[in-house]
Structure 1
Amino acid sequence: MGKLRSGTVGRRFTMLYAAGFLGSGTVLLTLTYLMSGSRVTVAAPEQPPAVPPGPAAAEQRIRDLETQLADVHGQQDHQLLAGSLVALVVMVGVSLLLGRLLAGRVLRPLRLITAATRRISAENLHQRLAVTGPADEVKELADTVDGLLERLEASFVAQRRFVGNASHELRTPLATMRASLDVAVAKPEPAAQTVALAGRLRTELDRVDHLLDGFLVLARAQHGTLADRTPVPLGRPAREALTARAADIAAKRLTVHDEIRTDTWTRGSPALLSRMVENLLDNAIVHNQEGGWIRISTDHDTAGARLVLTTGGHVLDQERVDRLTQPFERLGADRTGPEGSCGLGLSIVAAIVTAHGGRLTLLARPEGGLCVTAALPSAAGPEAGKAAR
């Protein structure tokens, strides 16, 4: 039987049952004490003392017997009271023990339901509690939870099916539009207006395609399953992202402080973790000032692995920074609509971090700029696994 934690229903049940047993025992002992009116017979001495005959002697004898009887009654009451107190103390311990046993027995099905519910997540919604037993309140509760899990499973399946279908159905018209533009521009001596219109439409199609890709990644991170979990060194996607964006960093004359470590490992989807780092770095580049700086670092400790990306810049409002993880939320007019931005970057980052069991923290630096920390569960790298073997 598991322990009954302080402040739980089990503790309240224990006290309730104990109070009931103790109250019943107290009433029983009180009634026994009040109703104890048994007569005590005093045996005459074997050799009664010699007294002179007469009425005075008889009266003296009667008074002696009454005194002796009163002493015996007093001694009996004292012994009964002492025994009652001892019995009451014993009843306290017995009441607490019985109360604990009964509370544990009553709450055992609820603890089993709680443990089974905690084991069920988005990845195994097909599991059910399937509690057997009489049709009582506990069985009704378990059946209700099973019904809720069934509805959640149907909702998740429908959402995943939508994500899969949308990736094909929505990209098909975009590809058709691109092909039509290419055909129009490829004609002999196309009109200048046609070429200009095609260029603008391609830009808008790129934005729509980028927005669609962001929606799909966000939906996968929030409602999909991470079937490709594997140990991932956080330093690898960080360096790859820096290398891929070297031209953008140079164009804005940004100084990069590289504090990436190679021994920082986590466990998750390599594709989603790469997307997380790319979005953070893109956000740091696009919303940085000319000639600014970026500090990117990875480290780990007993709490887990961390990716920290810090930028300088203007002083930001922390309340507005806290809302940046919401879709399409931006800071100020200077962050409305930079080329290629769809307002989902940090939303995707937050969803990816949450899907990996981590935590994303956005902190407005008092001296200006932003510090973003992605804290993830740590994992042992291949070298550690070989050493353990």
Structure 2
Amino acid sequence: MGKLRQGTVGRRFTILYAVVFLVSGMGLLALTYLLSGSEEARVAPGQPPPGPSGLAAAEQHIRDLEAQLSDVHAQQSRQLLVGSLIALVVMAVVSLLLGRALAGRVLRPLRLITAATRRISAENLHQRLAVAGPADEVKELADTIDSLLERLEASFAAQRRFVGNASHELRTPLATMRASLDVAVAKPEPAAPTVALADRLRTELDRVDHLLDGFLVLARAQNGALADRAVVSLGELTGEALTARAADIAAKSLTVDDEVRPKSWTRGSPALLSRLVGNVIDNAIVHNVEGGWIRIAVDHVDAEVRLVVETGGRVLDQDRVDLLGQPFERLGADRTGSEESSGLGLSIVAAIAAAHGGSLALRARPEGGLRVTAALPSAADAEVGQFERVGQFRGMTP
């Protein structure tokens, strides 16, 4: 009965089939009982005909036989009624089972449509239900959903193309503005206000350039254009990212506790995965307090490779934390270092993880701080073995 509770329509179909069967069975039972009762009423002892007194004993015997026959008919009617009731109860149970089977068969196409629709997300809008069969209401519903998915795919693709194209186009005027500033400052004995203004504009241009770079990476990850897929060690990428950010870690006097397994292999774009690891670690560094700590772990769990980065700090609201995977979302202006962030870091991580078939989980630690978990599918053993053999061969090549 567990499946019946899952679908309201299926439960209603089952109950409807059972009720219709029971009503029909009860009507048939009542008709059978009425017919048997009317037949019994016709078997009534008649009046003894007048005749010699010698016939009295025979007539009395006949009346006794008729009375016995009437009792037998009544007993048979009761037995028929009891047997019919038992048969009705048995068939009621059978009708529930048959009703459940019929409801499941009737609703099976709808369940398939529901399951296929749930598998389709913003990352795989190109998939279609493509339901085959007669042109009935179910196929019409599936075709309508396919048409909706087609329009959504076109809309998402247009949005991503716009972000990518706009980011590329804005690079040119930014480069021109930067060159103009350099020319103005390079003049002999430039005025002090000009130099100060140029330094301030360079800072803002760097921030805008960083933002555009984030847009480009986000658009590439969301488009799923991963032509450079290869076997990558998430542990080695984490080690490289920590080494490259050693100065930033030292500047904030942060304590780093890392448990990184170098042989944590996944398959994907090395450039995007490097950006994923870098953004997660940058988030832990920028949004941290002076003298704080960072705990980093890279491990192979089941069929996944997981990067887990934890930081301390104040207790955060989980509802607000859940929004950090969206572009331009921050925990608030009072969060440490938020003025240095573009608000795209974790949204880029989420997009890159999704493009690789993985996920990003953000959890507020009960003791305070944030726990970021990026899970990616692990590479197949055959791919890892082939990659290691190629690496050994190249290492032996003079």
TM over 0.5: yes
On the 8 A contact 1:315/1:364 being kept in 2, the answer is no
1:329 corresponds in structure 2 to 330
On the 8 A contact 1:167/1:216 being kept in 2, the answer is yes
- The corresponding residue for 1:46 is none
Deviation at 1:381, TM superposition (A): 4.8
Q: Secondary structure at the match of 1:316?
A: coil
Give the aligned partner of residue 294 of structure 1: 294
Summarize the Cα distance change of 1:311–1:86 in structure 2 as closer, same or farther, 3 Å threshold: closer
Does 2:15 match 1:7?
no
Where 1:289 maps in the other structure, the secondary structure is coil
Q: Which amino acid aligns with 2:297?
A: S
Q: Does 1:180 align with 2:219?
A: no
User: Residue 358 of structure 2 aligns with which residue?
Assistant: 357
Q: In the TM superposition, what is the alpha-carbon distance from 1:206 to its structure 2 partner?
A: 0.3
Change (3 A) 1:265 1:202: same
Q: State the 1:94 CA deviation.
A: 4.4
CA contact (8 A) 1:163 1:220 kept: no
Query: In the TM superposition, what whole-angstrom CA distance separates every residue of 1:167-225 from its partner, at most 9, and x where no partner exists?
Result: 3212111111112222323344443433332222111100111122223333444x422
Q: Which residue is equivalent to 2:27? A: 27
Instruction: Check the 8 A contact 2:310/2:372 in 1, yes or no.
Output: yes
- Give the superposition deviation at 1:92: 2.8
1:32-65 deviation per Cα after TM superposition (whole angstroms, max 9, x unaligned): 12222336999xxxxxxxxx95353244224312
Shift of 1:154: 1.3
Separation in structure 1 between the aligned mates of residue 28 and residue 384 of structure 2, nearest angstrom? 68
Matching of residue 263 in structure 1 with residue 281 in structure 2:
no
Displacement of 1:157: 1.7
Confirm or deny: 8 A CA contact 2:362 2:370 kept in the other structure: no
Give the SS at the match of 2:307.
strand
Contact 1:358 1:377 in 2 (8 A): no
Q: 1:107 to 1:211 in 2, by over 3 A?
A: same
Which amino acid is 1:227 matched to? Answer: L
Letter matched to residue 16 of structure 1: L
Higher helix share: 2
SS at match of 1:333: coil
The total of aligned residue pairs comes to: 372
Q: Aligned in 2, Cα 1:354/1:190: closer, same or farther, shift over 3 Å?
A: same
CA distance in 1, matches of 2:343, 2:284: 14
Q: Which runs of 5+ in 1 are unaligned?
A: 43-51
Q: 1:382 to 1:237 in 2, by over 3 A?
A: farther
Matching residue's letter, 1:80: L
| In 2, Cα distance between equivalents of 1:306 and 1:130 | 35
Q: CA deviation at 1:124?
A: 4.7
Q: Between 150-159 and 112-121, report the one with greater CA deviation.
A: 112-121
Q: Give the superposition deviation at 1:68.
A: 2.0
Q: Does 1:198 align with 2:193?
A: no
Does structure 2 retain, via aligned residues, the 8 Å contact 1:330–1:343? no
Deviations 1:326-355 (A, max 9, x none): 52414453635555x323323333443444
Q: Are residues 110 and 194 of structure 1, via their aligned partners in 2, closer, same or farther at CA, if it must alter by over 3 Å? A: same
Query: Partner of 1:108 in structure 2?
Result: 108
- Report if the CA contact (8 A) 2:287-2:338 is conserved: no
Give, in whole Å, the separation in 2 of the partners of 1:347 and 1:126: 22
Q: Which amino acid aligns with 1:77?
A: S
1:363 maps to a residue whose letter is A
Partner residue in 2 for 1:45 = none
1:88 offset after TM fit, Å?
A: 1.9
The alpha-carbon distance between structure 1 residues 108 and 167, as it changes in their structure 2 partners (threshold 3 A), is same
Displacement after TM superposition at 1:106 (Å): 1.9
- 4+ residue runs over 6 A deviation: none
Superposed, 1:43-82 pairs within 5 Å as 53-54=53-54, 56-82=56-82
Q: Provide the secondary structure at the position in 1 that maps to 2:289.
A: coil
Q: Structure 1: how far apart are the matches of 2:219 and 2:81?
A: 75
Task: Determine if contact 2:40/2:74 at 8 Å carries over to the other structure.
Answer: no
For structure 2, the residue ranges without an aligned partner over 5 or more in a row are 44-51, 388-398
Asked if structure 1 preserves the Cα contact closer than 8 Å seen for 2:316 and 2:364, the reply is no
Q: Give the match's secondary structure for 2:39.
A: coil
| Residue 163 of structure 1: aligned partner | 163
CA positional deviation for 1:95:
2.2
Q: Give the whole-Å Cα distance in 2 for the aligned partners of 1:66 and 1:58.
A: 12
Q: Assess, with a 3 A threshold, how the Cα gap between structure 1 residues 20 and 382 changes in structure 2: closer, same or farther.
A: same
The answer to whether 1:279 aligns with 2:279 is: yes
Provide Cα deviations, 1:286-315, integer angstroms capped at 9, x if missing partner. 333344332221123237332122334x43
What's the counterpart of residue 145 of structure 1?
145
Residue matched to 2:243 = 243
Report the residue type matching 1:360 in the other structure: A
Q: Which residue of 2 aligns with 1:348?
A: 348
Q: Secondary structure of 1:125's match? A: coil
> Quick one: structure 1 residues 141 and 332, their matched pair in 2 at CA, closer, same or farther if it must change by over 3 Å?
same
2:87 alignment counterpart? 87
